[in-house]
Amino acid sequence: MPSNKITKKRKTPFDAEAFLSLINGGKTVLKKENDQTLFSQGDDSDAVFYILEGKVKLVVVSPQGKEAVIAVLETGAFFGEACLTTQAIRIATAVSMGETEVIRIHKAAMLRVLHDEPAFSELFLSYLLTRNIRIEADLVDQLFNSSEKRLARVLLLLAHFGKESKTERILPKISQETLSEMIGTTRSRVSFFMNKFEKLGFIDTNDGLHIHSSLLNIVLHD
C-alpha cells in the first residue's frame, strides 16, 4: 500500500554565484590585480557588483582630502547596490585587494533579476539586512570603544572569528595603513597595538597574518 506520509523536500541553499552566471546581458566578469579601481567616488552609479573571489575595500575621501576605509568586503559580497535607489553617483571608491574577480551587473539587469527570481531577491535582502546590522555595530564601536578595541574587533571580523578553527589567516595581508583608515587612528598607533598583540600571543605575523581567538580578550576587557 502506498504510504500516506508526506515527505517534505529539503530546501536547497540558493547558489547566488551559479544563478548570476546564467544572466544573459547586462553582466560583465572583471579580473583585477592588487590595488586596482573598480569604480571611483563621484562616478555614475549604474551597476551592482558581486565578488566571485578576492577582497575589495571601499574608501571615502573627504573634501579636505582625508581618506577612510569604510568596509573590506570578501568573496560572496555584493557592493554598489545603492544604484538601485535614487543615488546617482558613487559616494565611495572600490579598490581590489590582491587578485580579485567580480561580476558587474548593470542596474537594469539587476532589477530584472530581483523581479523575476524570488529566491535571489530573498538572498539579496538577507545580505543587505545582515550588512546593515554590521554597519550599526561598526558605528557603535567607533563611537564608544578605544582604538585598541576597534583594531582587535576589525582583525577578528576579517579572520571570521567564530569558525571551528582557533586560528585564521588573513590573505592578502592587510597593511597597517589600511587598518588605521578602517578604525580611524594613526598608522603609528596601529603599529604599536599590533606589536603588543603579537607579544601577548594574540596574533602571529610569520608567513602572513594569523589571528588567534584569544584576541577576543582585548575586546571583552573593560
Whether residue 215 is predicted with pLDDT greater than 70 in this model: the reply is: yes
| pTM attached to this predicted model | 0.74
pLDDT tens by residue, 149-158: 889 888 888 8
The three-state (H, E, C) secondary structure of the chain, written as one string: CCCCCCCCCCCCCCCHHHHHCCCCCCEEEEEECCCCEEECCCCECCEEEEEEEEEEEEEEECCCCCEEEEEEEECCCEECHHHHCCCCECCCEEEEEEEEEEEEEEHHHHHHHHHHCHHHHHHHHHHHHHHHHHHHHHHHHHHHCCHHHHHHHHHHHHCCCCCCCCEEEECCCCCHHHHHHHHCCCHHHHHHHHHHHHHCCCEECCCCEEEEHHHHHHHHCC
Q: C-alpha grid cell for residue 158?
A: 576579517
pLDDT tens by residue, 44-87: 999 999 999 999 999 998 888 888 888 889 899 999 999 999 88
Higher pLDDT, 82 or 9: 82
Whether residue 10 is predicted with pLDDT greater than 50 in this model: the reply is: no
pLDDT band at 12 (very low <50, low <70, confident <90, very high): low
